[in-house]
Amino acid sequence: MSDEKVNVVWLGSPTFPNAAHDALRDGQLRRNLKHATTTIRDKRLRAVAELDDWETLRLAGSQIKDRVMRHLDEYLLRLEASVTAAGGVVHWAEDADAANRIVIELVRAKGADEVVKIKSMATQEIGLNEALAADGVTATETDLAELIVQLAGDRPSHILVPAIHRNRTEIRDIFRREMGKYGVAAPDDLTDEPRVLAEAARLHLREKFLRAKVAVSGANFACADTGTVAVVESEGNGRMCLTLPETLITVMGIEKVLPAFADLEVFLQLLPRSSTAERMNPYTSLWTGVTPGDGPQEFHLILLDNGRSATLADRQGRSALHCIRCSACLNVCPVYERTGGRSYGSVYPGPIGAVLTPQLVGVGTSKHADSLPFASTLCGACYDACPVRIDIPEMLVHLRAKVVDAHRGEKLPAPEALAMKAARVVFGSPRRLAVAERLGALGGRIAGIRGGRWLPGPAKKWTAARDVPVPPRESFRTWWRKAGRR
Amino acid sequence: MTGSAAKDRILADIRSALHDVPRAERAEDVAVTRDYLDSHATGDVVGLFVERVRDYRATVTRVPEAEVPAEIARILAERGVRNLVVPPGFPREWLTAYDGSRLTDDPPLTAAELDASDGVVTLAARGVALTGTIVLDAGPGQGRRALSLVPDLHLCVVRTSQVLPDVPAAVRALVPDRPTTFISGPSATSDIELDRVEGVHGPRTLDVLLVVDS
């Protein structure tokens, strides 16, 4: 794994099956997740059912994204021209290191030693906070959930609600313990009422908003024709960051560009109902370059590749880039609901993470990322929920094949490769198959005597969770021979 | 500059990744079927707007134009607003019944001054009925974005003639180069156990005064 991609997957993460084992033993985590995903699932269904033409909107969303991906170079150039004409500055970053360097230079040029941040998947992906810290700049996450994660020294577990793995009591304890170390402390009488916790966050962050000189954001959409950038949020922390500081730095994955401002009419219907399951999220900010006398007078847009152009090269994997980060697929996924986001060991968890993460880092480069396409039952709920119709189940199967191909020729073949090789030998000749069948029947009799339903050796893992059907006492061939004699 | 080398490399990588896209294909050749509905709102659009704004736990009061000054004064008094931010272009005649002090944005108020105020009164650019959304675009009487953000109470005056049925109509009516904010209820978070709580960083109170145009 190359250094510049360390934050798409977290360094040293165990493979999914190992991480999931630990997560599954955590009863509190499972209760928190079940409560949260069930709540949001039901709400989303109601929000979506209100629109009769939901399927038509999904189709339009998916087609617009398809158009963008097939002509991404053109749209990026058009976006650059529009943003520049509106008074913004566009930067291009091939990888995480390059993007972080650009941000650090811009912050230094302003003489700032702190920045306020809007929740952004792109800046998490590049490990911006850590890079800024290494350079002596403090980055404060201002989204409530991100603040909880940051104060706890924790890792996010969900795209939309990164602290979904924490319940209110845990959050109260984190606020009591940590807030005072970084600014305004939590009040002594802090309870675990969500309203009271939100109020504590408001007080803690307000002084930071009022004095911040530089803000860093991501982008939900950027319109190539007008240069307009959109940030969709709930709390108003986004508006604070986009409005009060003198300088705004937006880090945006290159796939977030939309052809036209008019396309917002589709995505502003699809995104809120799919993510927070609301008719509309509380605040959506649209800005175009710099407006004299209103908001930041310096605007920088960093266009980030970091594995995206490589992802584009796989025709069957390309549409993972259509993702608008709504997180609906996480909330409906039976695997996510039980293991939580941190088991995926990536900033992109859940079904979309299972297809996006291995592609961004490159299939075959990380044992951990390669385990993700297998973290699925292929039930298809994610495809049904996806507002831009990404066929995640099909892509998972495609990526599983790619992972297996990437590991072909390794010195120690994987157990399933050995099993398949053995199967080829056995099925290759009728005589060998007959011998195998007799052995199977014998094994069946032994198993029958012992009452066991397990397999020995490496296959033990498989039977730990499943019953092996007891092989019949005689094979079809044997039966046929006997029947023929009669 | 390293930036332009990076740009060239990224564009080259994208072009080589898209080797399967025929050279002659134009972006417009990729079909986009736009037969989704222009509006999901049926019947009384203004009534729907009122209902949907209230769903977010914002208040809505419908008044004829002649009663606007008295109604503004009543709401501000009830909310205990004595120190009101008034953006440039807000109709003076609508504040004749309000007897508290006014903060005008000329010269621009500092963030700390805005923070010390009790509330702000603004006009709006549009309303969206289906989603209960108010759209501000920094036009006259709305002020720059910080004015409607930092104070803890936002009293927004919307005319019934400004209410559009649904999101597509609103997007089509916008002027892209204006800084635009869609406001749907007071600020809120669902970050704690996905339980919605109103009031985080933006105004915790949103009062809408809907002026009935004749």
Digit-coded pLDDT (tens) for A136-176: 999 999 999 999 999 999 888 888 888 888 999 999 999 99
Q: How far is CA B32 from CA A60, A469, B28, in A?
A: 6, 50, 8
Query: 3-state class of A114 per DSSP?
Result: strand
Q: Name the A residues in 57-76 with CB < 8 Å from any B CB.
A: 57, 59-60, 63-64, 66-67, 70-76
Instruction: State residue A451's pLDDT score.
Output: 55
Between A427 and A264, name the one with better pLDDT: A264
Q: CB burial class (10 A; 0-12, 13-18, 19+) of residue A374?
A: middle
Instruction: State residue A453's pLDDT score.
Output: 65
Between A472 and A49, name the one with better pLDDT: A49
Question: What mean pLDDT comes out for the span A94-104?
Answer: 97
Strands B119-123 and B83-86: parallel
For B27-86, how does the pLDDT look when each residue is reduced to its tens digit (9 = 90+)?
999 999 999 999 999 999 999 999 999 999 999 999 999 999 999 999 999 999 999 999
Mutate to test the interface with B, among A270, A286, A306 (most CBs of B within 10 A): A286
| Res B169 pLDDT > 50 | yes
| Res A224 pLDDT > 70 | yes
- Determine whether the interchain pair B40/A52 forms a contact, defined as Cβ–Cβ distance below 8 Å: yes
CATH of A3-308 given 3.40.50.10420, 3.30.950.10, 3.40.50.300, 2.40.110.20: 3.40.50.10420
Contact yes or no for A362/A290 (Cβ under 8 A): no
Domain boundaries, chain A: 3-308, 415-485
Measure CB to CB from residue A94 to each of B6, B20, B34 and give the nearest one: B6
Contact yes or no for A281/A331 (Cβ under 8 A): no
Question: Of A179-183, A226-230, A341-345, A366-370, which one has max mean pLDDT?
Answer: A226-230
Q: Which residues contact B208 (CB under 8 A, 6 or more apart)?
A: B53, B58, B59, B60, B61, B134, B155, B156, B157, B158
Domain boundaries, chain B: 45-212
Question: What mean pLDDT comes out for the span B22-26?
Answer: 96
How distant is the Cα of A259 from the closest Cα of chain B, in angstroms?
9
As a whole number of angstroms, the distance between CA A13 and CA B36 comes to 44
For A115-145, how does the pLDDT look when each residue is reduced to its tens digit (9 = 90+)?
999 999 999 999 999 999 999 999 999 999 9
- Determine whether the interchain pair A236/B32 forms a contact, defined as Cβ–Cβ distance below 8 Å: no
Between A70 and A426, name the one with better pLDDT: A70
Residue A108 CB neighbour total at 10 angstroms? 13
Mutate to test the interface with A, among B201, B205, B206 (most CBs of A within 10 A): B201
> In chain B, which residue's Cα lies nearest the Cα of A286?
B180
Instruction: Assess A248–B contact: CB distance below 8 Å, yes or no.
Output: no
Q: How far is CA B122 from CA A235, A241, B67, B104, B115, in A?
A: 20, 21, 17, 12, 16
Question: What mean pLDDT comes out for the span A52-65?
Answer: 98
- Determine whether the interchain pair B192/A171 forms a contact, defined as Cβ–Cβ distance below 8 Å: yes
Query: Taking the domain B45-212, which CATH number applies?
Result: 3.40.50.10420
As a whole number of angstroms, the distance between CA A73 and CA A76 comes to 5
Between B4 and A66, name the one with better pLDDT: A66
Q: How far is CA A83 from CA A203, A294, B193, in A?
A: 35, 17, 38
* Mean pLDDT score across all residues of chain B: 95
Question: What mean pLDDT comes out for the span A283-307?
Answer: 98
Instruction: State residue A260's pLDDT score.
Output: 98
| Chain B residues touching A285 at Cβ < 8 A | 145, 179-182
pTM to 2 decimals? 0.91
- Determine whether the interchain pair A67/B20 forms a contact, defined as Cβ–Cβ distance below 8 Å: no
Instruction: State residue A6's pLDDT score.
Output: 52
Q: How far is CA B1 from CA A251, A254, B104, in A?
A: 19, 20, 45
